[in-house]
Amino acid sequence: MMSKSVRWQAGVLLLLLLCLPLALRAQMSKHDQDAAKKMIAGTLYLRLDVPQKSVQGAWGVGPGAVLEVSPTGHDSQSKLPEGMMSGLQKLNWDFFPNDGVRYGKLSFDHNTVHLYLEGLPPNNVEIYLDFVQINSIDDFTKAFNQVFSKVPLQDEHPEWPAEVRNAIAEHKVVIGMTKEQAFDVVGTPLDIKTENVNGVETEIWHPRQDRGRTLRAVRFAKERLGSTGFPVQLKFVDGKLQVIE
C-alpha cells in the first residue's frame, strides 16, 4: 500500500506530464509579441530563398508558407505534400536572398508565429513563412536573424571587395566570390557536387533556373513564373568561384 508521500509525488508527476504538452505549446507574452512586431517593421532584406505553395483560402487561391524557421535552423520540406518532395519546381520561387520585403505582419498561434510580408516593387507580391518553437523574444530574434537583415546583404560587409558588393546588389555572381557571397545571390542550389583531386577541393553548384508555377486566384490556372536568370553552373575551387557557366 502506497504511503501518502508516495501518492502525493505520483500525483505531482502526473500533473506535470499532463501540463507538458501545454508548456511545449506556450505562447509569447504580450510584451514579447509587441517587441517582435517592432522588429518586423520597415524594409527588410532576405538572407534565404523563400519558396511559396498555392493554397485555397476564403478569398480564393493564394500563396502559403513553406519555409519553417526555428531558433536553431530552417526547413523548406516538412510543409510540402508528399507528392511535391521531388517536384519542387512546382512551387512559387519569387523570393531569393537580398530581395527586399516590407509591410510585415505577425499572427501568433501558441509557439508558432505566422509572418506575412510583401515584396518591394517590381516584385510586390505576398510572401508567407512560419517561425516555430517560439516561446520568447529571444527565440524570435534567433529565427529572425536567420531570415532577415535590416540592410542589403552587401552593406553588412564593407570589407568585401567593391566588385563583389556591387554584384550582390545587382543579383549577379562574379569570379572570385566565396560560397557565402554567391549564396547571397542564387540562394540554395538545386544540387551540389564535391570532389577532391590531389588535395584541391572542388564544389559545383547548379542554381535554380525555373521560378516554377503558381496558381493565380484571378485565373484559377497554373502560370509559369519565368526564369531566375541565374547561371546554369558555378564551380568553386578551394572555396572561390572560378567558373561561371
| Residue bearing the bigger pLDDT, 173 or 62 | 173
Confidence of residue 27 (pLDDT cuts 50, 70, 90): confident
In this predicted structure, what is the pLDDT of residue 54? Answer: 76
Per-residue pLDDT band at 199 (split at 50, 70, 90): confident
Give me the pLDDT at residue 91, please.
Answer: 79
Residue 141 has pLDDT above 60, yes or no: yes
Q: Please state at what angle helix 179-186 crosses helix 162-169, rounded to 10 degrees.
A: 20
Q: What angle do CA 78, 70, 90 make, to 5 degrees?
A: 30
Q: Is the CB of residue 55 less than 8 Å from the CB of residue 63?
A: yes
Please, where in the chain does CATH 3.30.1450 lie?
154-244
User: pLDDT per residue over 64-90, tens digit each?
Assistant: 899 999 999 999 887 776 555 444 446
H or E element in which residue 4 lies: helix 4-24
What stretches of 67-190 adopt beta strand conformation (E)? 68-70, 73-75, 92-95, 100-109, 112-119, 126-131, 148-149
Beta-bridged to residue 213, according to DSSP, are 224
Average pLDDT for residues 193-221, to the nearest whole number? 78
Query: What's the pLDDT at 136?
Result: 97
pLDDT at 226 over 90: no
Q: What global pTM score does this model have? A: 0.83
When the pLDDT of each residue in the chain is averaged and rounded to a whole number, the result is 85
Q: Which of 158, 154, 148, 157 is nearest to 167 (CA)?
A: 154
Give 95-107 as a 3 state SS string: ECCCCEEEEEEEE
Side-chain half-sphere CA neighbours of 18 within 13 A: 6
Nine-digit cell string for 21:
504538452
Q: CATH number of 154-244: 3.30.1490, 3.30.1450, 1.20.1060, 3.90.930?
A: 3.30.1450
| Peptide bond connecting 122 to the previous residue in cis, omega within 30 degrees of 0 | yes
Residue 174 pLDDT:
98
Evaluate whether 220 touches 240 at the Cβ level (below 8 Å): no
Question: Which pLDDT score, from 0 to 100, does residue 117 have?
Answer: 97
pLDDT for position 211: 84
